[in-house]
Amino acid sequence: DKLERRDVILNAALDLLAGADYHDISIAQIAKKAGLAKGTIFLYFQTKEDLFLQLQMREYRPWFDEINRRLSALSEKKQAAGINVFVEQTVSSLQKHPMMAHMAPILHVVLERNIKYATASEFKYFLLHEIRRTGALIEQCLPFLKKNEGQVFLLDLQVLLIGVIQLSRPAPVVKQVIEKERMDIFKIDFEKKLKEMLLALLSGRKALQE
């Protein structure tokens, strides 16, 4: 079955990504992991970037479902969610979908670079639909946000996520230097830093509305 084989390929890529950097993974390795010939991969995906972009889209879906469930539960309480509660729920949802966050730093600078118009259009329309849906729920939970600012928050979240992930996961040699030279200022805790940045962002936005 074509869809099943496509999933086998994506699962193989996901397994490899869990233990290696994107740039160190080849189509040949993915094919071997999937038990397929290298040429078979290109019957389903035009390029390596296309393959991993489709994987990222597959990882996005359950995260959007997860955050939407959490936000719906908050909005059903008939009272505005505090910023702290909202941030806790947001970061917690990201931690439940680590591979989606793991691929965030390469999404725009790598995966969106070597794809065709149709693929880019499909991906962006998918994101647009999900961002609109989730953005509306965010505005219900945080009523100080103006119309469409929930969508803007999700884009801000992507920006912060990329930056915090990169800083919290230094290259091995850089990590050695930080440890050996006791440069503690460069030790970034992903969860703590992302929460700090989101709290600052939303508190500032709320202050502007008051």
Is the CATH number of domain 49-209 1.10.357.10?
yes
Note the pLDDT of residue 16: 97
Does the pLDDT of residue 44 top 80, yes or no? yes
Using CA atoms, how far apart are residues 204 and 201, in angstroms rounded to an integer? 5
pLDDT at position 59: 95
d(CA 61, CA 25): 24
Alpha-carbon distance of 18 to 98, in angstroms, equals 10
Contact between residue 164 and residue 190 where contact means Cβ atoms under 8 Å apart? yes
What is the torsional sign of CA 13, 115, 108, 87?
negative
Sequence-ordered alpha helix ranges (H) in 76-189: 83-95, 98-106, 117-141, 149-168, 172-180
Query: What pLDDT digit, counting tens, does each position of 54-102 carry?
Result: 999 999 999 999 999 999 998 877 556 689 999 999 999 999 999 999 9
Amino acid 74: pLDDT: 87
| CATH topology classification for 1-44 | Arc Repressor Mutant, subunit A (1.10.10)
- Band of the pLDDT at 1, cuts 50, 70, 90? confident
Query: Would you place residue 159 in the very low, low, confident or very high pLDDT band (cuts 50, 70, 90)?
Result: very high
- Positive or negative: CA dihedral 109, 111, 113, 119: negative
Q: What is the pLDDT of residues 95-105, one digit of tens each?
A: 999 999 999 99
| Distance of alpha carbon 13 from alpha carbon 55, whole angstroms | 8
For the chain, give every domain's residue range.
1-44, 49-209
